[in-house]
Amino acid sequence: MTGANIVVKSLESLGVKYVFGYTGAAILPAIDAICQSSITMVVNSNEQSAAFSAAGYSRSSHAVGVAVVTSGPAITNTLTAVADSYADSIPLIVISGQVPEHKIGTDSFQHIDVANVFGATAKKVITIDKIEQIESAIKDAYYLALSGKPGPVVIDIPVNLLQNESVYHAVPVETYRDIYAHEIHLSDHQCQIFFTLLQEANRPLLYLGGGVNSSQGSRAIREFNALLNIPSVNTLMAKGVVDENDALCMGLLGMFGTPYANKIIQSNDFFFAIGVRWDDRVADKVGFAIDAKIAYIDINPEKVHQIRTERSPEFSFIGDATNALADLTRYAKKHAITLDIHAWQDYATKLKKSWPLNYNKSSEKLQQAEVMEILNTLIDEKTIITTGVGNHQLLAAQYLKMKNPKQFLTSGSFGTMGFAMPNAVGAYHANQNTTILVIDGDGSFKMNMAELYTIGSRGLPIKILLLNNQSDGMVHNLEDVTCKGRHSASERIYDVIFADLAKHCNFTYAQRISARDELKTSLHTFLSTQGSAFLEVMTDTEEVLYPVVRPGTSYKDMELGPYIKEIQPQ
């Protein structure tokens, strides 16, 4: 069998149903074989989008998304999506065709040294130099990508090896899976130390991260907290890990976190961080003077060592957060552990009610925040959301209360504009009976606008909500503060009706609106359209995103803006 067919057989044995990619000479044998197999190839409009679609498949499921691209500019096009996945710990496989082996090192057409270029952005780069390696490399890459701190694996295969003949050994995939299947648990002694610290605390707070953003992780934290009812804050990567409608869930923490999350962190005395990497947009603001004891669980040894050095946690554990939480829950049940923190729970509940999000309600122009507020009442609890990067992203994170894990897909660490549409394509293929809703800004949308073609031409029933403030709003806001209001390169003076592009790309529903009285009904029609739908909402260029905790300042310096105020809860 050819190397190309070994690639296909290996992917099929791993249960891969879709690959996302783009063709070219060096990958052609593999793509030819894929298109004759049980695997469906989804052709994106460029390779960054293909890799993002594969990542969206992983972000919204338990499987690993696969992208297949050719050499040179094609594989370098995936670099941003690979780096994005690495930064957010997302499993991903990118397979690239390479120039034939005899041309490597000859300054050949479309050659790039993949191992060197991707060395710092991938969890692993595998350069295939023997056809016999292909089967084991692909099967191992799948489980390596998922294991420990998940991440992207790039497999580079010279085209002559895809064309040559070899033997497919059909090694059971479990052989590779089991390599990574070791479990580490908390001992009873460690559980006892943890609960002694927790019971000494009066104001404990959970700090939840992407490491628990899975069905098992979410179940584990919910079972743990069903016993203890500890207020929580979460990172962007952990939206929906606990039900955000819950009175004790304070939601997004950080530079643009909710008022109540950024307030509660100022008075906790036991900070239990789970599956987080202490992003500077969250943790720098805590500073080293946080007046709380710290407990930390994470699977990434490097991160735990860093935090042990920098923050001297009273308790820390390197291991899978799901297992550790299950151990703690078992111990708590066995020893009938309860917490006497009623005053703190009441404080948290009241804080959430007293400091609601708010925005400029007297403007004639629609506000992005207002769209989010209405949208939150219209989306069903299974809807999967992808976002761009900017004000619309953070407003979505603040206003949309997610009930379940893996529902809010966003570029957390890397902040990559252009993320939303291609990730939605991947999320759709992994969740075909679920509403997939893209929330994009006009700047972010433009970056991978060609995915309108992918979605429209394939008739994918994806809903795209474009919040068009005719600017790079987040930067526009920053310029008001740091550039004396000079708006350099952040306004879109030339108006294109993006909804018309969607119409031309065969969308079932495509509208632009700017009037308040159209908003609710348009959102409703848009969301209930059977096929692909595009709603462009024109919003206020001058809208400012609040709250904000500016770089170099701390949570006590949070600026709430002119509209967020304390109210008397009913």
Ligand X SMILES: Cc1ncc(C[n+]2csc(CCOP(=O)(O)OP(=O)(O)O)c2C)c(N)n1
532 binds Mg ion (CB under 5 A): no
443 binds ligand X (CB under 6 A): yes
Give min distance, CB of 448 to ligand X, in A: 10
Give min distance, CB of 543 to ligand X, in A: 9
Stretch that binds Mg ion, among 177-185, 189-197, 308-316, 461-469 (CB under 5 A): 461-469
425 binds ligand X (CB under 6 A): no
Give min distance, CB of 393 to ligand X, in A: 7
Omega of the bond prior to 172 within 30 degrees of 0, cis?
no
Closer of 497 and 567 to Mg ion (Cβ): 497
Give min distance, CB of 83 to ligand X, in A: 11
CA nearest neighbour of 194 among 299, 95, 335, 90: 335
Give min distance, CB of 424 to ligand X, in A: 15
Q: What is the SS3 string spanning 8-63? A: HHHHHHCCCCEEEECCCCCCHHHHHHHCCCCCEEEECCCHHHHHHHHHHHHHCCCC
392 binds ligand X (CB under 6 A): yes
CA distance linking residue 460 with residue 17, whole number of Å: 17
Strands 463-468 and 92-98: unpaired
Closer of 30 and 449 to ligand X (Cβ): 449
Give min distance, CB of 367 to ligand X, in A: 11
Strands 65-69 and 92-98: parallel
CA distance linking residue 557 with residue 570, whole number of Å: 28
469 binds Mg ion (CB under 5 A): yes
Of these, 157, 326, 474, 505, which contacts ligand X (CB under 6 A)? 474
426 binds ligand X (CB under 6 A): no
49 binds ligand X (CB under 6 A): no
Give min distance, CB of 544 to ligand X, in A: 11
Of these, 3, 29, 231, 388, which contacts ligand X (CB under 6 A)? 388
462 binds ligand X (CB under 6 A): no
444 binds ligand X (CB under 6 A): yes
Closer of 7 and 502 to ligand X (Cβ): 502
Per-residue binding string, Mg ion, 413-452, x by CB under 5 A, is: ----------------------------xxx---------
265 binds ligand X (CB under 6 A): no
Give min distance, CB of 445 to ligand X, in A: 7
Torsion of CA 101, 102, 108, 111, to 10 degrees: 10
523 binds, among Mg ion, ligand X, none (CB under 5 to 8 A by kind): none
CA distance linking residue 283 with residue 507, whole number of Å: 42
Of these, 44, 71, 469, 532, which contacts ligand X (CB under 6 A)? 469
472 binds ligand X (CB under 6 A): yes
416 binds, among ligand X, Mg ion, none (CB under 5 to 8 A by kind): ligand X
Give min distance, CB of 562 to ligand X, in A: 19
456 binds ligand X (CB under 6 A): no
Number of residues that bind ligand X (CB under 6 A): 19
Give residue number: closest CB to Mg ion.
Answer: 441
323 binds, among ligand X, Mg ion, none (CB under 5 to 8 A by kind): none
Task: Note whether 383 and 240 are within 8 A (CB).
Answer: no
Is residue 570 exposed (0-12), middle (13-18) or buried (19+ Cβ within 10 Å)?
exposed
- The label of the residue with tokens 């943890």 reads 194
| DSSP state string for 121-161 | TSSEEEE--STTHHHHHHHHHHHHHHSSS--EEEEEEEHHH
Closer of 351 and 449 to Mg ion (Cβ): 449
CA distance linking residue 204 with residue 292, whole number of Å: 9
| DSSP state string for 281-342 | HHHTTT-TT--SEEEEEES-HHHHHHHHHHH--SEEEES-HHHHHHHHHHHHHHTT-----H
388 binds, among Mg ion, ligand X, none (CB under 5 to 8 A by kind): ligand X
Of these, 140, 370, 442, 451, which contacts ligand X (CB under 6 A)? 442
417 binds, among Mg ion, ligand X, none (CB under 5 to 8 A by kind): ligand X
Closer of 232 and 470 to Mg ion (Cβ): 470
Which DSSP letter does residue 87 get? H
Torsion of CA 350, 352, 353, 354, to 10 degrees: 80
CA distance linking residue 385 with residue 392, whole number of Å: 12
Q: Which residues pair with 51 in a beta bridge?
A: none
Closer of 217 and 441 to ligand X (Cβ): 441
Closer of 421 and 510 to ligand X (Cβ): 421
Which DSSP letter does residue 547 get? S
Beta strands in 388-444 (DSSP E): 408-409, 436-441
> Cα angle vertex 547, ends 545, 549, to 5°?
110
CA nearest neighbour of 370 among 543, 569, 560, 558: 543
> Which pair of structure tokens corresponds to residue 359?
């925005």
Q: DSSP alpha helices (H): ranges in 412-505?
A: 420-430, 442-447, 451-458, 473-482, 498-504
Give min distance, CB of 519 to Mg ion, in A: 17
423 binds, among Mg ion, ligand X, none (CB under 5 to 8 A by kind): none
> Which pair of structure tokens corresponds to residue 523?
């959102």
Number of residues that bind Mg ion (CB under 5 A): 5
3-state secondary structure of 343: helix
Of these, 473, 505, 507, 544, which contacts Mg ion (CB under 5 A)? 473
422 binds ligand X (CB under 6 A): no
386 binds ligand X (CB under 6 A): no
Stretch that binds Mg ion, among 268-276, 305-313, 338-346, 467-475 (CB under 5 A): 467-475
CA distance linking residue 424 with residue 35, whole number of Å: 22
Closer of 423 and 468 to Mg ion (Cβ): 468
Give min distance, CB of 475 to ligand X, in A: 5
Q: Which residues bind ligand X (CB under 6 A)?
A: 388-392, 415-417, 441-444, 467, 469, 471-475
Footprint of Mg ion (CB under 5 A): 441-443, 469, 473
